Structure 1
């Protein structure tokens, strides 16, 4: 098997709100969009993020009405403290404070307007 691209598709109530959040605060750009659909990309990220409106008839019936829940969209970054300060200065609420785990992971989270958890992480903790 050869994989030529990767995307993460998430069902949300308000496609525009989630799209704007990633564009405004995380530097994504719109690759494609249509009614109830937006595909976002960054050249330095190995996957597109796709938002689909709840109830999209193109999805199987058992998937149409289920929002993305229990999912964390994580981005590994070089300057975790710098990103934390930038997001705070932009007025983004930090919904999980910066934490350090014993296995070396350090992370904090924000939440987009649809409740999607976005985590920024590095591996510079004590056991890294």
Structure 2
């Protein structure tokens, strides 16, 4: 098998709200918009995001609710600068930067549909 790409598919109530969030705060761009589906991508190594409406095309019936909440995680550099930028832009930061015991800085933000995005930066231990 040769995997040449990847995407996370998220079912949300309002794909347009999540699209604006991912485009304005996280640098994604729209690749395809059709029948309740929006495909977002970046030009770097980020996984593509596919947002689909919780209401199917031509139907008023919602997909069944789920108890599982996905977290989309991106490894970044300069996490503190990203935090300041996101804060200035008014992004909903739900967990400010903090150092985890295993040597990773992390922060979380949440889009208008409740999708949790985690940004992490690995800080190698001193002498490593």
How many pairs were matched up? 124
Q: How far 1:125 sits from its partner (Å)?
A: 6.2
Segments ≥4 residues shifted beyond 4 Å: 125-128
Structure 2 runs not aligned, ≥5 long: none
Give the aligned partner of residue 23 of structure 1.
23
Contact 1:12 1:54 in 2 (8 A): yes
| 1:101 alignment counterpart | 100
Name structure 1 gaps, 5 residues minimum: 58-62
Name the structure 1 match of 2:10: 10
Whole-angstrom CA distance in 2 between matches of 1:97 and 1:46 = 22
Cα shift at 1:55:
3.3
Displacement of 1:75: 1.0
By how many angstroms is 1:50 displaced? 0.2
TM-score (structure 2 length as normaliser): 0.86
Which stretch of structure 1 is more off in the superposition, 90-99 or 103-112?
90-99
1:112 matched residue in structure 2:
111
Cα deviation for residue 43 of structure 1 reads 1.0
Cα-Cα RMSD: 2.3
Q: Secondary structure at the match of 1:97?
A: strand
CA drift of 1:93 comes to: 2.4
**TM-score of the aligned structures, taking structure 1 as reference length:** 0.86
